[in-house]
Amino acid sequence: MSRRWISTGGRYSRRVTISWPGAPDMKSHIMKMNELQRTTWAGACALFMALLLVFFCVFRVSNATALVIIVNMAILGSVSLVTKTRGRYLVLVALVSMLALELFFREPSGTASNIWILVRFSATGLLITYFETLLTRKSQELYLDIERLAQQREDALADSRRWLARANALVMVISMISTKSHLHEIFEKSLEETRKVFDADSGLIYTVSSDSGTMSIVGSFGYSDEVMNKMKRRETEGAASCEACKDKDAIVVADDLSAGDKCPSLQNVTIGSCICLPIVSDETILGVLHLRRRRPDAFTPQDIQLAQSMTYQFGLAMQRAALFEQVNRLAITDPITGLYNYRKLRRDIEREIVRAKRYRHPFSFVMADIDHFKALNDRYGHQAGDTVLREVARSLNAGKREVDRAYRYGGEEFSILLPETEWPEAFEVAEKLRKKVAEMRISVDGELAPVETTISMGVASFSHESMGLERLMADADEALYNAKNTGRNKVVAHSVMEEAG
């Protein structure tokens, strides 16, 4: 029992409410049920009411009449379960008519009793029809809800699998970047993963030259050889014509590749949808990732976000490869002259020896030394000496043939490797280089007059009779020694070659 004060016309009176302790709040309990529980509860109530009504309908009737009523109720219930149309009421009228015929033919004298039975049967039939219809509607709603939940579950599982595949692809790209140093291999494997994840029909990766800004294809899939050849012939186009490079942001063409206001690089593409994403590192454009699918609206915002994550990893890979290349270049390059160093020289000569022995091809080797370089260093200083070294290296590198390679051997000595060259032709090339150096006039800080210098050169050629790297270099050095001892500023061939000639 509880008490509550209420206002009545400015005065307060006390209302006493009596409630049973622990009595459940039925409405609140039902509202807390889920759909399945409420439908089950409604079905149980409908079944209880149907049984109660059937009992009410067959109360104090003969066995034969009760059997007819029960059969008619079963028919009516079945029809109400399978149909929602008004036909179920027509069935009810037909069943009432059949029951009336049975009653009046069997007991024609009990008219009032028969009418009372018909009234009870009709009321019971209406209530059963209503409850069956209600139960059917609730069951169908519950079935549709279960179907919707099952579809949502399938969609969620599909999304989870898709995101798991994307995460695995991103992890694989990161793993390849951390374990491989060759860009071509990284891009080839990464594009394959990209094709699987995005279900793309075609894709490209361009690199952008930091010097000229031209775009070059370094990886692709989904293109024929003919199309690739045409695209590579257009690689002279610069990044300035690429919208993704200019905006440094993703360019998405989702539903109309035939539109006129699109990137110039996509002018020949008219079907499907595509995304172009710049590969950026420290605000520098390193390349572009291009993906295309044949159907419109193929790329979702989540796809674009994942593709941007991949381009970020591509940028790291390209930056790492550039650093790797720079380290390798420094390892084989002389820091003063910019020529290849002694380590690179030995490696190249060994490669040429293997090639010459296999294919019986000749090659020659030239040693060069700046004349009186120590005196020049003592007179003008070491900075002037470095300037002379750089200018002589520039002259040798510019005057050699395109197939030849120039090296700084060490100190004031230089070397030149001449593939596919017999010693007479090598002698002519060396003589041309000697004259080119002799004609130089080198400006030195602090000196009014330009500095002049000359070089002496020794020529040796590879012979197939058990000659190795050390023997070849020793022959060229011996020829250089003879050139310096016989007046300098000249070219001397090794004596073995001169005797053979």
Beta bridge partners of 206: 217, 288
So what's the pLDDT on residue 361? 87
So what's the pLDDT on residue 266? 60
Q: Which CATH architecture has domain 342-500?
A: 2-Layer Sandwich (3.30)
C-alpha to C-alpha distances, 411 to 344, 408, 474, nearest whole angstrom: 16, 8, 17
Q: Please tell me whether residue 483 adopts helix, strand or coil conformation.
A: helix
CATH label, 180-330, candidates 3.40.50.150, 3.40.50.2000, 3.30.300.90, 3.30.450.40: 3.30.450.40
- Between CA 135 and CA 84 the distance in angstroms is 11
**Residues spanned by CATH 3.30.450.40 within the chain?**
180-330
Per-residue pLDDT tens over the stretch 31-84: 555 655 666 676 667 667 767 777 766 766 777 777 777 777 777 777 766 666
Name the nearest CA neighbour of 344 among 356, 357, 330.
330
So what's the pLDDT on residue 420? 92
Residues (pLDDT < 50) of the chain are 1-13, 15-23
C-alpha to C-alpha distances, 383 to 410, 444, 446, nearest whole angstrom: 17, 9, 11
**Residues spanned by CATH 3.30.70.270 within the chain?**
342-500
Vertex 109: Cα angle to 104 and 115 (nearest 5): 55
So what's the pLDDT on residue 327? 87
